[in-house]
Structure 1
Amino acid sequence: MPRIAMDRSGEMEVFARVVQEGGFSAAARSLDLTPSAVSKLIARLEARLGARLLVRTTRALTLTEEGEAFHHAATRIIQDLNDADQAASGGALRGRLRINASIPFGSMFVAPALRGFLENNPHLTVDLSLTDDIVDLLAQRADVAIRMGTLADSGLIARKLGESPRVICAAPAYLERRGIPQLPEDLAGHDCLTFNFRRGWPTWPFRQDGRNIEQPVRGNLIVNNGETMRQMTLAGVGIARLGSFHVAADISAGRLTPLLEAYNPGDLELISALYVGGGPIPHRVRVFIEYMAKALKQLSLG
């Protein structure tokens, strides 16, 4: 990577890189600088601002209140400069795009789609993280998150990318052992696998006798991601409600059996892209979201 000019925008970029990498040495490697040069530049920046921005210990590097404010402003300015460079260079995307996606959907759809995106944007570096945990985009410094299901209220901006049907299913071994539920209320006598990131006792939606109902479910296993739930369902632990995109191959192969389909109310799982609002959406984020929206339209999600 070419050395950056040590002007005010250069100071901001070095400071932002220190925060991003979590330390002076890692930032120095990514910028092709020495750690002492990075340290001196941060010291000069703090002296010029008359405020301490970073607190270093042997274990961690944390931002002061002034550092948080400066980092927020510096990140926005750096992005504006990058967007200006991209506009002047014919719109070519440069820099780093941090994407966070749920484990099953990220593995099955986001990761495979990235090949074409990277081919279209060869000067862009994509940093992809997969987790089903609730992610704080600001704390994790992610540019965009792709999430499934109903979204909690937050200050994030959501863009709908698509939707996937949900299916209730179980392994043949479980059904041989515990019986096949014929009505939604029969689930009260079964082990239903649920997620630990949903508060309270979960309910599953059905349509019965011309009206929509919410059937409470319980089980002896709670998990934090869809792939673990799929594996436990395949192992015969219980009944699961999962996106059909996630289990379509298992159902087709007979490894899982769909249940209570006559009572399915058109249960859909929303697919959304989330990003931080409060200003113009960065060009790289906007281009990626548009790319994923088009890519998902071409895929069968169940």
Structure 2
Amino acid sequence: MARIDVNRFGEMEMFVRTIEAGSFSAAARAAHLSPSAVSKLISRLEARLNARLVNRSTRRIQLTPEGAEFYERSQRLLAELDDAEQAAAGALAPRGKLRINANVPVGTQILLPLMPAFCARYPAVSVDISLTDKVVDLVEERTDVALRSGPLRNSRLMARKLGETRLLLVAAPGYLARQGAPSTPADLEAHQRLSLCYARVNETWPFVVDGQPISLAPRGPVRISDGEALRQLALSGLGIARLAWFQVADDIAQGRLVPVLEDFDAGECEEVHAVFLGQGGHLPARVRAFLDFMVENVRLG
């Protein structure tokens, strides 16, 4: 039985706020306390738990493995407490800050166009959005939900599938007029094949030729860090790129990009997921609302 003179929920809340603020001083300003008071509170919590939760430096704090686990569990418990209080007050509408990370194509083409409808439905939720094609650590980056495309790594993250999208090769009409349209995958050896450069991608382009699967590595004058920038390079006429259908559907309809080698398409698709920490029953109402909204509204084509 816990001692009643220890405000464990208060300690948890201050610990979570400190991690989300990124430093003792930032957390202290938000809580109208001194940095030393916040530091002492975290030290008392560590002493009570007999575990180091954070590694301290002059500019920032970093979670230890034990701290990351405690942070995740504290978030869930605080979310349950928040939901209980809202239910008791008859105020079940989601509220608070929602932090979302998305890769650039999904963010620009899918997430941002849906934000007006989401904000209109949930006016008490404020949204912070970060767009990057790098895979972020949800705890380190203090992120509630990340939207990711491609295969998911094995991890403690939960995921909800938002859909899947076809991948296809496209090029600008001007590029094809200069270089000629490839008739077979072998013709790509004479073409500029644009690709991504971040380390987690080992990209090959799959085809089916005479009923047999083959693959070809992209090779061109430029490699780039995100999918939206890759689309812009294709639009500029620099070469051929492999992109998701949802990225280029409007460009194809408007004649800005042209599909190539469709007769040799291997039919590969890419899944898009929303990933998050914790079990669905322990999520803050604002996170549950966002996940449900995305499942309801995302159309990848």
TM-score (norm 2): 0.84
* SS of equivalent residue, structure 1 residue 137: coil
What secondary structure sits across from 2:175 in the alignment? Answer: helix
Alignment of 1:204-223 (within 5 A): 204-209=205-210, 211=211, 213-220=213-220, 221-223=222-224
- Tell me the residue number matched to 2:191: 190
Residue equivalent to 1:179: 180
Aligned to 2:261: 260
- The CA RMSD measured in Å over matched residues stands at 2.8
Asked if residue 12 in structure 1 is aligned to residue 12 in structure 2, the reply is yes
Between stretches 21-30 and 236-245, larger displacement belongs to 21-30
The structural deviation recorded for 1:202 is 2.9
Give CA-to-partner distance per residue, 1:220-271, whole Å, 9 cap, x none: 2322211110111122221101112212232233322221123334443322
How far 1:52 moved relative to its partner?
5.0
Say whether the 8 Å CA contact 1:201–1:218 is kept in structure 2: no
Secondary structure, in 3 states, of the residue corresponding to 2:139? Answer: helix
User: Does the CA contact (< 8 Å) of 1:188 and 1:217 recur in 2?
Assistant: no
Structure 1 unmatched runs, 5+: 1-5
CA drift of 1:276 comes to 2.7
Q: Are 1:84 and 2:100 counterparts?
A: no
Distance 1:129 1:122, change over 3 A: same
Whole-Å Cα distance in 1 between the matches of residues 7 and 200 of structure 2? 49
Preserved CA contact (<8 Å) 1:53 1:63: yes
The change in CA–CA distance for 1:40 and 1:104 in structure 2 (over 3 A counts) is same
Aligned to 2:24: 24
Structure 2 unaligned regions, length at least 5: 1-5
Alpha-carbon separation, structure 2, partners of 1:198 and 1:34? 42
Deviations 1:110-160 (A, max 9, x none): 122122222322332322211111222233232221112333333322221
Aligned residue identity for 2:242:
R
Tell me the residue number matched to 1:134: 135
How far did residue 17 of structure 1 move?
0.7
Deviates more, 1:237-246 or 1:278-287: 278-287
Q: Which residue of 1 aligns with 2:3?
A: none
Q: Which has the higher contact order (CA 8 A, sep 6+)?
A: 2
- Equivalents in 2 of 1:274, 1:102: separation in Å? 12
Matched, 1:294 2:296: yes
Q: What SS is found at the alignment partner of 1:289?
A: helix
Aligned identity (percent) is 47
1:187 Cα shift? Answer: 1.7
Measure, in 2, the Cα distance between the counterparts of 1:214 and 1:127.
Answer: 42
Separation in 1 of the partners of 2:203 and 2:277?
A: 29
1:97 — aligned with what?
98
Q: Trace 1:53-132 onto structure 2 (pairs within 5 A).
A: 53-64=53-64, 67-88=67-88, 89-132=90-133
Residue 276 of structure 1 corresponds to which residue in structure 2? 277
